[in-house]
Amino acid sequence: MSQAVDLLAIAAHRDDVELTCGGTLAKAVRAGHRVGILDLTQGETGTRGDAGLRAAEAERAAGSPTPISRTTSRPARRSSS
């Protein structure tokens, strides 16, 4: 399912967008823009926590529910080196 957005924020990890440009996105939503977030990983290979914890952190970082579309590209893979 594809959704058109006016502004797309892309970050490596869940909650990175909220920590780096959350205020800008909130302002864009208040101005009537359609905003999307693309997380490049789910945070599943982190040393402190798992994908579920990263998802909960991102939800808390976003604050109250807003009309922002969020998706994750695919699971991260550890290198074999």
81 lies in some domain: no
Rounded to 5 degrees, what are φ and ψ at 75? -60, 145
pTM for this structure? 0.68
Q: Are 41 and 76 in contact (CB under 8 A)?
A: yes
Domain range for 36 is 7-72
What average pLDDT is seen over the chain?
Answer: 76
77 lies in some domain: no
pLDDT of 28: 92
24 lies in some domain: yes
Q: What's the first-to-final CA gap in the chain, in angstroms?
A: 36
Please report which helix (H) or strand (E) contains residue 46, including its range: none
Domain count within the chain? 1
Instruction: Please give the Cα distance from 38 to 49 (Å, whole number).
Output: 20
1 lies in some domain: no
Model confidence over 43-79: pLDDT tens digits? 666 667 777 777 777 777 666 555 567 777 665 555 5
- With a cut of 50, say whether residue 1 has pLDDT above it: no
Strands 7-11 and 68-72: unpaired
